[in-house]
């Protein structure tokens, strides 16, 4: 049966970084007609109601209806250690992350955390994500099984590490290749799931491991490849000492065939001019993780400069290096970091990054990330007055952007009034 969801609708007909806020399409009383899991029509509520009298109507009142948020870089296994105090990247990995990831040797623990992670993501209005798992194949199975049960479009891969990680948390070039390939064959393209080839980062992979993963990627070029790039200056120095022949950090990937369209690099804060040029030429994607970058003290991403260079840029929580599951909080952090570089990102740009931008970075923008006819019906409804502090500010707004910005800056899961996955209401 057709469903009609009514509210204030927000969609994008273009890119607000190019066209400004006029790229957005807003209706104060709009509607989305959902048929067989997809958006069949968009329009004014009254018009669609009259045209589809048999449709089941869900009226969300003045709530804002948008495409669900897309978290383009997350570590679901780090759910349990989010907000762990006092460390910088390498120390944080050794103190908190690796001991926690070791626990995923137990498939029951992996399944428990995957369930917890998806419940939290949906509660925050995140309907798709691209996650790292751990080195354990069962951690990938747990993630995809939980996503599949919820009908979600989700991406993930086995995190590969064959050095500089503790005993019990290392694979080998051969096992990384074999396990990644088996998981890819098991999950890639099943329902709404996609496998992502996932070397953690150069410090924890030997050149041999990077090389075999480059080979796997050449054999499966329709998969994405995700990793970390130039997050902290100490990390970059370490990469230099581990790869003395490399021209720069990106070159450690490039030399092994891990640069190209479909490469998705998290962080990418401290880039050289050569790295920027090569990333652009190769058509790679970058993912900005602002709450993580402040939380672990990594640095300030050059949003304005990198957008201007034409790179595909997504937005992400980087849970649990990031300090929040909320893409609203993540947009706020992106706003604040851009301000420190002298750019005030417009609310339309922030919203676009958390939806269309992340979808483009993950090359799924033809399926999710926007409200448009033919797109999969992954929706979020947001209460723009979810707390007294937000309501008193949005109550005096003169336009949509003024009404939305307090929720971007101060909102959290309390703002999420409804979530639909493939047209099925989840909350």
Q: How far is the CB of 96 from ligand GUN (least distance, A)?
A: 10
CB 348 within 8 A of CB 24: yes
Q: Out of Zn ion, ligand GUN, none, which partner does residue 77 contact, by CB within 5 to 8 A per kind? A: none
Member of 58, 128, 292, 326 binding ligand GUN (CB under 6 A): 292
Pick the piece of the chain touching Zn ion (CB under 5 A) from 104-112, 166-174, 258-266, 276-284: 258-266
Integer angstrom CA distances of residue 53 from 1, 44, 60, 290, 379: 11, 14, 18, 45, 22
d(CA 194, CA 188): 4
Site for ligand GUN in 302-321 (CB under 6 A): 318, 321
Closer CB to ligand GUN, 98 or 118, in the complex: 98
d(CA 165, CA 203): 9
Member of 52, 228, 270, 278 binding ligand GUN (CB under 6 A): 228
Total binding residues toward ligand GUN, as defined by CB under 6 A: 11
Q: How far is the CB of 385 from Zn ion (least distance, A)?
A: 34
**Could you tell me which residues come within 8 angstroms of residue 164 by beta carbon, excluding any fewer than 6 positions away?**
203, 204
Closer CB to Zn ion, 131 or 209, in the complex: 131
Total binding residues toward Zn ion, as defined by CB under 5 A: 2
**Which residue's CB comes closest to ligand GUN?**
321
- HSE, side-chain direction, 13 A CA sphere, residue 10: 31
Q: How far is the CB of 151 from ligand GUN (least distance, A)?
A: 28
Member of 143, 201, 243, 253 binding ligand GUN (CB under 6 A): 201
Q: How far is the CB of 260 from ligand GUN (least distance, A)?
A: 21
d(CA 174, CA 133): 18
Residue 83: CB atoms within 10 A of its CB come to 10
**Could you tell me which residues come within 8 angstroms of residue 102 by beta carbon, excluding any fewer than 6 positions away?**
166, 168, 169
Q: Out of Zn ion, ligand GUN, none, which partner does residue 194 contact, by CB within 5 to 8 A per kind? A: none
**Could you tell me which residues come within 8 angstroms of residue 308 by beta carbon, excluding any fewer than 6 positions away?**
none
**Could you tell me which residues come within 8 angstroms of residue 261 by beta carbon, excluding any fewer than 6 positions away?**
282, 283, 284, 363
Q: Does 290 bind ligand GUN (CB under 6 A)?
A: no
Q: Out of ligand GUN, Zn ion, none, which partner does residue 270 contact, by CB within 5 to 8 A per kind? A: none
Pick the piece of the chain touching Zn ion (CB under 5 A) from 116-124, 199-207, 249-257, 318-326: 318-326
Closer CB to ligand GUN, 144 or 265, in the complex: 265
Member of 3, 9, 79, 97 binding ligand GUN (CB under 6 A): 97
Q: How far is the CB of 318 from ligand GUN (least distance, A)?
A: 5
Q: Does 266 bind Zn ion (CB under 5 A)?
A: yes
Which is it for the CA torsion 414, 96, 203, 305, positive or negative?
Answer: positive
306 Cα distance to chain centroid: 18
Pick the piece of the chain touching ligand GUN (CB under 6 A) from 89-97, 247-255, 348-356, 418-426: 89-97
Q: Which of 297, 223, 298 is CA-nearest to residue 258?
A: 223
Site for ligand GUN in 230-269 (CB under 6 A): 231
d(CA 255, CA 273): 18
Strands 193-199 and 379-382: unpaired
Closer CB to ligand GUN, 155 or 377, in the complex: 155
Q: How far is the CB of 267 from ligand GUN (least distance, A)?
A: 7
Member of 136, 153, 158, 200 binding ligand GUN (CB under 6 A): 200
CB 320 within 8 A of CB 78: yes
Closer CB to ligand GUN, 26 or 88, in the complex: 88
Q: Three-state SS for 37?
A: coil
CB 283 within 8 A of CB 261: yes
Closer CB to ligand GUN, 143 or 201, in the complex: 201
Strands 69-75 and 126-132: parallel
Q: Which of 240, 345, 356, 365 is CA-nearest to residue 290?
A: 345
Q: How far is the CB of 161 from Zn ion (least distance, A)?
A: 13
Q: How far is the CB of 266 from ligand GUN (least distance, A)?
A: 7
Residues in touch with ligand GUN (CB under 6 A): 75, 89, 93, 97, 200-201, 228, 231, 292, 318, 321
Query: Site residues (CB under 5 A) for Zn ion?
Result: 266, 318
């Amino acid at each position: 049966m057709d469903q009609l969801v009514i509210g204030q609708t927000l969609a994008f007909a273009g890119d607000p970084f190019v066209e400004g806020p006029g790229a957005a399409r807003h209706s104060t009383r709009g509607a989305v007609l959902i048929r067989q899991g997809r958006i069949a029509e968009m329009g004014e509520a009254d018009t669609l109601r009259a045209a589809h009298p048999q449709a089941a109507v869900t009226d969300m009142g003045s709530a804002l209806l948008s495409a669900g948020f897309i978290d383009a870089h997350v570590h679901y296994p780090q759910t349990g250690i989010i907000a762990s105090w006092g460390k910088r990247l390498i120390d944080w990995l050794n103190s908190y992350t690796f001991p926690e990831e070791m626990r995923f040797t137990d498939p029951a623990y992996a399944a428990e955390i995957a369930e917890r992670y998806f419940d939290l993501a949906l509660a925050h209005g995140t309907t798709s994500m691209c996650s790292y798992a751990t080195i354990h194949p069962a951690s990938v199975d747990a993630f995809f099984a939980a996503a599949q049960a919820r009908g979600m479009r989700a991406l993930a891969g086995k995190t590969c590490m064959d050095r500089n990680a503790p005993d019990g948390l290392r694979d080998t070039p051969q096992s990384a290749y074999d396990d990644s390939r088996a998981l890819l064959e098991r999950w890639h393209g099943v329902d709404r799931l996609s496998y992502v080839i996932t070397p953690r980062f150069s410090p924890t992979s030997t050149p041999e491991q990077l090389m075999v993963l480059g080979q796997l990627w050449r054999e499966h070029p329709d998969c994405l490849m995700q990793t970390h790039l130039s997050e902290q200056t100490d990390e970059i120095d370490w990469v230099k000492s581990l790869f003395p022949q490399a021209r720069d950090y990106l070159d450690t990937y490039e030399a092994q065939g891990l640069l190209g369209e479909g490469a998705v690099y998290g962080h990418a804060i401290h880039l050289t001019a050569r790295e920027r040029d090569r990333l652009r030429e190769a058509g790679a994607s970058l993912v900005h993780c602002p709450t993580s970058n402040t939380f672990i003290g990594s640095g300030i991403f050059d949003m304005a400069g990198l957008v201007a260079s034409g790179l595909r840029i997504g937005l992400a929580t980087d849970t649990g290096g990031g300090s929040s599951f909320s893409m609203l909080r993540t947009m706020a952090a992106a706003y604040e970091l851009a301000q420190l570089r002298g750019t005030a990102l417009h609310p339309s740009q922030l919203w676009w990054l958390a939806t269309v931008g992340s979808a483009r970075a993950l090359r799924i923008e033809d399926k999710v990330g926007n409200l448009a006819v033919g797109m999969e019906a992954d929706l979020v409804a947001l209460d723009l007055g979810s707390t007294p502090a937000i309501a008193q500010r949005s109550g005096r707004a003169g336009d949509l952007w003024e009404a939305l910005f307090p929720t971007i800056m101060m909102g959290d899961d309390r703002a999420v009034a409804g979530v639909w996955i493939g047209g099925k209401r989840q909350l």
